[in-house]
Structures are given as structure tokens and as C-alpha cells.
């Protein structure tokens, strides 16, 4: 399967303008991405000694993206640091934050969800909290950067709903 074929195959699971980027990451790291039947207590899995990541196929698009990024962070941190690291330790947090920032800067998240993703960048968690799961199911708000603020510290353009700059952490009034 080519990267383009993978992009086409996974598009229906992801929010707009994200499948191509995910396919690129999957190909760059030679990851086998499997969409699986829903599991009761697990949304996604990264297998420690294999290049396999599984994601539940019944997740709404934004949650599917966040779970994929969570599992890719596991995969990358294991590849870079070995299998003796803690599953949600410093190495995983660094990779997860890097991935979240990348997609936040691309503007793929609706405003309300972008605010919550920013909180996740400041304090990454091992599991998806109920408020994050609830926000990812909101389909009414479109991805829009029409109303923006400018961070006074770094000059980063921000969506109107953000209260912290994802680049420097500055509190926005």
C-alpha cells in the first residue's frame, strides 16, 4: 500500500485535513495502523515490540485523531528510548506534546476543542478524560480561524477561544 492509498483508506476516520499527515507519519516510522472493533475500556494500543498501533473504529473523528497521536507518541518514545521507559513517562509526554502542538498549530481543531487540547499540552494525561471525549463528539463547530488573537510574548496567532498560547504558554486575556 502506498502512502496515498493509506491516506484514502483512513480519511473517513479522521477530521478534515489530517489523514494525509497521519499517513505520512505512519509511513515514516513504518507503523502498521489497524482500525479494530470497539473495545470496552481501551481506545487504542501501541504494541511494545511490534510496529503495530490499533485504534477503535467507532470513535468520532477528533477523538480518533487524539488517540492516534497518543499511540504514535508511545511508538516514537519507545523507538527513541528503548522499552524500559515508563508508558506515560517524560519521554512519552515530550512526544505527545510535540504531536499535539503540531496539529494545534495547523489549526485542525475547532475552537472549543483547541482550548482543551492546549490544556492537554500543558498537562498531558495518560487517558482521555470525559470532557475531552465529549468535546471531540461536537460536530457543530467548524474549523475556523476567522477570529484571532495575537500573543503579546511570541506573536503567535491564536484562535479566539484560547486562553493560553500553545507556543510559549503565555496567558491570553
Tell me the mean pLDDT in the region 129-158.
54
C-alpha cell at 26: 505512519
pLDDT of 100 above 90: yes
Beta bridge partners of 93: none
Give per-residue pLDDT as tens, 80-96. Answer: 999 899 989 999 999 99
Residue carrying C-alpha cell 503565555: 170
Q: What span, in angstroms and rounded, lies between the C-alpha atoms of 138 and 170?
A: 27
* The pLDDT of residue 141: 40
CA dihedral 6, 133, 113, 117 (to 10 degrees): -80
Output the CA angle 165-167-173, nearest 5 degrees. 15
Q: What span, in angstroms and rounded, lies between the C-alpha atoms of 170 and 154?
A: 9
Pair 148, 165: CB distance under 8 Å: no
Give per-residue pLDDT as tens, 30-63. Answer: 999 999 999 988 899 999 889 999 999 999 999 9
Q: What span, in angstroms and rounded, lies between the C-alpha atoms of 24 and 155?
A: 29
- Share of residues in the chain with pLDDT > 90 (%): 55
C-alpha cell at 148: 484571532
C-alpha cell at 141: 463547530
74 phi and psi, to 5 degrees? -60, -50
Amino acid at each position: 500500500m502506498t502512502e496515498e492509498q493509506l491516506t484514502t483508506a483512513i480519511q473517513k476516520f479522521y477530521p478534515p485535513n489530517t489523514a494525509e499527515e497521519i499517513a505520512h507519519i505512519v509511513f515514516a516510522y513504518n507503523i502498521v495502523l489497524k482500525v479494530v472493533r470497539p473495545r470496552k475500556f481501551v481506545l487504542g494500543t501501541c504494541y511494545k515490540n511490534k510496529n503495530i498501533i490499533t485504534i477503535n473504529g467507532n470513535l468520532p473523528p477528533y477523538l480518533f485523531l487524539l488517540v492516534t497521536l497518543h499511540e504514535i507518541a508511545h511508538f516514537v518514545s519507545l523507538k527513541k528510548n528503548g522499552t524500559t521507559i515508563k508508558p506515560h513517562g517524560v519521554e512519552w509526554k515530550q512526544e505527545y506534546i510535540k504531536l499535539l502542538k503540531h496539529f494545534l498549530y495547523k489549526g485542525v481543531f475547532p475552537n472549543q476543542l483547541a482550548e482543551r487540547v492546549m490544556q492537554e499540552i500543558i498537562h498531558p494525561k495518560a487517558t482521555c478524560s470525559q470532557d475531552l471525549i465529549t468535546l471531540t463528539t461536537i460536530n457543530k463547530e467548524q474549523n475556523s480561524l476567522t477570529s484571532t488573537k495575537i500573543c503579546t510574548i511570541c506573536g503567535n496567532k491564536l484562535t479566539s477561544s484560547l486562553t493560553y498560547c500553545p507556543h510559549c504558554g503565555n496567558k491570553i486575556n
